[in-house]
Amino acid sequence: MSKLPNTGTSIFTVMSALAAEHGALNLSQGFPNFPIDPRLRDALQRAAAGDTHQYLPMPGHRGLREKIAALIARSYQRMLDPDREVLITAGATQGLFSAIQALTVPGDDVVMLDPCYDSYDPSVLMAGARPVHVPLDDQFLPDWDRIADTLTERTRLLVINNPHNPSGRVWRTSDFEHLAALLARHPRLLLLSDEVYEFITFDQPHRSAHQHPALRDRSIVVSSFGKTFHITGWKIGYVTGPAALVAEIRKVHQFVVFCVNSVAQAALHEYLDLVDVNALGAFYRDKRDAFRALLAGSRFDLLPSEGSYFQVARYGAISDEPDTDFCRRLILEHGVATIPLSVFHADGRDDRMIRFCFAKDTDTLTRAAERLCAI
* Kind and range of the H or E run holding 158: strand 155-161
Predicted pLDDT of residue 12 = 79
DSSP for 93-110?
HHHHHHHHHHH--TT-EE
**164-175 per-position pLDDT tens digit:** 999 999 999 999
pLDDT for the residue 240: 98
Under the banding of pLDDT at 50, 70 and 90, the label for residue 138 is very high
C-alpha distances in Å from residue 36, one per residue of 44, 234, 235, 361: 11, 11, 14, 12
Average pLDDT over residues 22-34: 90
Tell me the three state secondary structure of residue 258.
coil
- Inform me whether the pLDDT recorded for 235 exceeds 80: yes
Q: What is the pTM of this model?
A: 0.96
What is the band of 358 on the pLDDT scale with cuts at 50, 70, 90? Answer: very high
Distant-in-sequence, close-in-space partners of 252: CB < 8 Å, separation ≥ 6: 98, 101, 102
Distance CA 38, CA 318 (A): 42
- Kindly report, residue by residue over 218-233, the tens digit of the pLDDT: 999 999 999 999 999 9
Q: For residue 222, give the nearest of 201, 244, 245 by alpha carbon.
A: 245
Task: Tell me the average pLDDT across 292-297.
Answer: 96
Can you give the pLDDT at residue 16?
85
What is the C-alpha to C-alpha distance for residues 360 and 143, in angstroms, rounded to an integer?
33
Phi and psi torsions of 31, nearest 5°? -140, 140
pLDDT on residue 263: 98
C-alpha R_g of the chain: 20
Higher pLDDT, 94 or 19: 94
Element (H, E) at 159: strand 155-161
Across the range 37-65, mean pLDDT stands at: 97
Q: pLDDT > 70: what percent of the chain?
A: 100
pLDDT at res. 133: 98
- pLDDT at site 18: 84
Q: What is residue 281's predicted lDDT score, i.e. its pLDDT? A: 92
Write down the domain spans for the chain.
Answer: 11-30+278-373, 38-271
* pLDDT at residue 53 in the model: 96
Name the pLDDT band for 134 (thresholds 50, 70, 90): very high
11-30+278-373 — its CATH code?
A: 3.90.1150.10
Residue 10 CB burial class (10 angstroms; 0-12, 13-18, ≥19): middle
User: DSSP class of residue 154?
Assistant: T
Percent of the residues in the chain that have a pLDDT greater than 90, as a whole number: 91
- Residue 164 CA to residue 30 CA, distance in Å, equals 13
Q: What is the pLDDT of residues 61-104, one digit of tens each?
A: 999 999 999 999 999 999 999 999 999 999 999 999 999 999 99
What is the predicted pLDDT for the residue at 2? Answer: 87
**Alpha-carbon distance values, 58 to 53, 251, 260, 269 (Å):** 14, 10, 8, 16
- pLDDT mean over 227-256: 97
Q: According to CATH, what is the number of the domain 38-271?
A: 3.40.640.10
Q: Residue 57, Cβ neighbours under 10 Å: how many? A: 11
Residue 260 has pLDDT above 90, yes or no: yes
Q: Which amino acid is at 280?
A: L
